Amino acid sequence: MPAAVAIDWILCLAAALGLLWMLVPLLMVSIGWRPVRVVVLEDPISVEPSSGDPSYRLRFSQLLAAGFKPLGTTVETCWFNSPLRWQRQSLQGERWLASADGRTFVALHRVVLDEPVRFGAVTLLEGGGMVQTACPGAGLSGDVGPRYRRAEVQNVDVVDLLGRHRKNVEEFCRERGLVAREATLRDLAVEDTACTRLTLKGQKIRGYWQLLLIVLVVPLLGFALMLHTPGREARHLHDLAVSALTATAMFAVVRHHLLNVSLRQQALKRHGLG
């Protein structure tokens, strides 16, 4: 096999793998196949603050002062949580503390490493369902189905968050005729997973298809131009592979910006930083 032909086939293989890497998440999201798995670590020690994390230590101390006790950690892994990503695992996990009556729980977590710790109160409901009050949240306030409600607040301390959460629970239960219940860490994991699945179902993906088309336009135009270039009749396979690799590279740059640079900016902005 001539070296040029071998190189073309290698380029084609690389292009095919690149297109799969780019397209599979969007296709899986489009058909609704988005598995979610939660690992539960029932170890109160895992909730203890580590050295060098004053933000976490502050919230942890405030919760202890409010009568909460460390409960354990949950780590969520979601396939295709975004049309841009194959898999995402919760950063550092969600570390939970529980109230003395076992009806209110607070999770401490982060979206990006260099942000202040996020915290949110959760109460489960009889027959399934959950009320969440998160600080600073992620712009996802509202009802998720008939038995799940998420409220978001910013720039509050633990005492204020718990007070607002109590009102949110009372209001939601009164509206829907529901009752709060005691729960365990595994109960929390089950309901949190159910809420995640409902949230993912409501995700709009039209903009991602438009983004994909924009990314593909330039390489496709380049390939079309090369198709009509005299003397390149024997190089069409090579040109197609190069065009596909160009599209993959452009997509990788856009993806990095959205999943890293933009995500960090948005996360810090929710705290009033950045």
Q: Which residues, at least 6 apart from 151, have a Cβ–Cβ distance to it below 8 Å? A: 131, 132, 133, 134, 141, 164, 165, 168
SS (H, E, C) the chain: CCHHHHHHHHHHHHHHHHHHHHHHHHHHHHHCCCCEEEEEECCHHHHCCCCCCHHHHHHHHHHHHCCCEEEEEEEEEEEEEECCEEEEECCCCEEEEECCCCCCEEEEECCCCCCCCEEEEEEEECCCCEEEEEECCCCCCEECCCCEEEEECCCCCHHHHHHHHHHHHHHHHHHHCCCECCCCHHHHHHHHHHHHHHHHHCCCCHHHHHHHHHHHHHHHHHHHHHHCCCCCHHHHHHHHHHHHHHHHHHHHHHHHHHHHHHHHHHHHHHCCCC
Asked if 155 and 136 touch (Cβ cutoff 8 Å), the reply is yes
pLDDT the model gives residue 22: 95
Distance CA 14, CA 240 (A): 12
Write down the pTM of the prediction: 0.90
What is the rounded end-to-end Cα distance, in angstroms, of the chain? 56
Maximum CA extent, the chain:
79
pLDDT the model gives residue 27: 96
Q: How far is CA 74 from CA 44, 77, 225, in A?
A: 11, 10, 53
pLDDT the model gives residue 225: 82
Asked if 51 and 87 touch (Cβ cutoff 8 Å), the reply is no
Alpha-carbon dihedral angle through residues 266, 269, 271, 274, given to the nearest 10 degrees: 120
Asked if 142 and 149 touch (Cβ cutoff 8 Å), the reply is yes
Distance CA 179, CA 170 (A): 9
pLDDT the model gives residue 75: 97
Parse the chain into domains and list their residue ranges: 3-29+205-270, 39-201
Q: What is the pLDDT along the chain (274 residues), one digit of tens a residue?
A: 577 778 888 999 999 999 999 999 999 999 999 999 999 999 999 999 988 899 999 999 999 999 999 999 999 999 999 999 999 999 989 999 999 999 999 999 999 999 999 999 999 999 999 999 999 998 889 999 899 999 999 999 999 999 999 999 999 999 999 999 999 999 999 999 999 999 999 888 999 999 999 998 888 888 778 777 777 666 778 888 889 999 999 999 999 999 999 999 999 999 988 6
pLDDT the model gives residue 236: 76
